[in-house]
Amino acid sequence: MTRITPEDLVRYLYNETSEKKTAAIQAALQTDWNLRENYNKLLNSHNNLDSIHFSPRKQSVNNILEYAAKKHAQVTSH
Protein backbone atom coordinates (compact mmCIF):
# COMPACT_ATOMS: atom_id res chain seq x y z
CA MET A 1 0.00 0.00 0.00
CA THR A 2 1.24 3.47 -0.92
CA ARG A 3 1.82 5.86 1.97
CA ILE A 4 -0.18 9.09 1.51
CA THR A 5 1.40 12.17 3.08
CA PRO A 6 -0.26 15.52 3.86
CA GLU A 7 1.78 16.96 0.99
CA ASP A 8 0.27 14.33 -1.32
CA LEU A 9 -3.20 15.42 -0.25
CA VAL A 10 -2.41 19.05 -1.03
CA ARG A 11 -1.06 18.08 -4.45
CA TYR A 12 -4.18 15.98 -5.04
CA LEU A 13 -6.39 18.91 -4.01
CA TYR A 14 -4.69 21.10 -6.62
CA ASN A 15 -4.75 18.34 -9.28
CA GLU A 16 -0.96 18.08 -9.27
CA THR A 17 -0.58 14.34 -8.73
CA SER A 18 0.27 11.74 -11.33
CA GLU A 19 -2.45 9.38 -12.55
CA LYS A 20 -0.96 6.58 -10.46
CA LYS A 21 -0.79 8.71 -7.30
CA THR A 22 -4.31 10.07 -7.92
CA ALA A 23 -5.68 6.55 -8.16
CA ALA A 24 -3.85 5.53 -4.98
CA ILE A 25 -5.18 8.55 -3.09
CA GLN A 26 -8.73 8.01 -4.30
CA ALA A 27 -8.58 4.35 -3.25
CA ALA A 28 -7.15 5.29 0.14
CA LEU A 29 -9.82 7.96 0.67
CA GLN A 30 -12.47 5.26 0.20
CA THR A 31 -11.10 3.07 2.98
CA ASP A 32 -9.08 5.26 5.37
CA TRP A 33 -11.37 7.33 7.58
CA ASN A 34 -8.51 9.40 9.08
CA LEU A 35 -7.12 10.22 5.66
CA ARG A 36 -10.57 11.20 4.41
CA GLU A 37 -11.08 13.46 7.44
CA ASN A 38 -7.70 15.13 6.86
CA TYR A 39 -8.55 15.63 3.20
CA ASN A 40 -11.93 17.12 4.07
CA LYS A 41 -10.25 19.59 6.44
CA LEU A 42 -7.87 20.62 3.66
CA LEU A 43 -10.74 20.91 1.21
CA ASN A 44 -12.78 23.09 3.59
CA SER A 45 -9.77 25.31 4.24
CA HIS A 46 -9.12 25.60 0.52
CA ASN A 47 -12.74 26.55 -0.13
CA ASN A 48 -12.66 29.20 2.60
CA LEU A 49 -9.52 30.89 1.28
CA ASP A 50 -11.51 32.95 -1.22
CA SER A 51 -13.61 34.48 1.54
CA ILE A 52 -10.60 35.78 3.49
CA HIS A 53 -9.63 39.35 2.70
CA PHE A 54 -6.47 41.01 3.90
CA SER A 55 -5.58 44.64 3.64
CA PRO A 56 -2.75 46.70 5.05
CA ARG A 57 -3.29 49.19 7.82
CA LYS A 58 -3.92 52.72 6.60
CA GLN A 59 -0.80 53.89 8.46
CA SER A 60 1.34 51.38 6.55
CA VAL A 61 0.03 52.66 3.23
CA ASN A 62 0.62 56.26 4.31
CA ASN A 63 4.20 55.45 5.36
CA ILE A 64 4.91 53.92 1.95
CA LEU A 65 3.39 56.88 0.13
CA GLU A 66 5.37 59.36 2.23
CA TYR A 67 8.60 57.45 1.59
CA ALA A 68 7.90 57.35 -2.14
CA ALA A 69 7.15 61.08 -2.19
CA LYS A 70 10.46 61.84 -0.41
CA LYS A 71 12.42 59.69 -2.84
CA HIS A 72 10.65 61.28 -5.80
CA ALA A 73 11.44 64.74 -4.45
CA GLN A 74 15.11 63.79 -4.03
CA VAL A 75 15.35 62.48 -7.57
CA THR A 76 13.60 65.43 -9.19
CA SER A 77 15.51 68.05 -7.19
CA HIS A 78 18.90 66.97 -8.60
Residue spans per domain, the chain? 6-77
- pLDDT-derived band at 61 (thresholds 50, 70, 90) equals very high
Length of the chain: 78
Amino acid at 59: Q
Q: What's the rounded Cα separation, in Å, for the pair 25 and 68?
A: 51
Q: What's the rounded Cα separation, in Å, for the pair 12 and 5?
A: 11
Q: Where are the alpha helices (DSSP H) in 1-78?
A: 6-13, 19-31, 33-48, 58-77
pTM for the model stands at: 0.64
The per-residue pLDDT for range 26-58, each reduced to its tens digit, is: 999 999 999 999 999 999 999 998 788 889 999
- pLDDT-derived band at 1 (thresholds 50, 70, 90) equals low
* 14-18, 54-58, 72-76: least confidently modelled range: 72-76
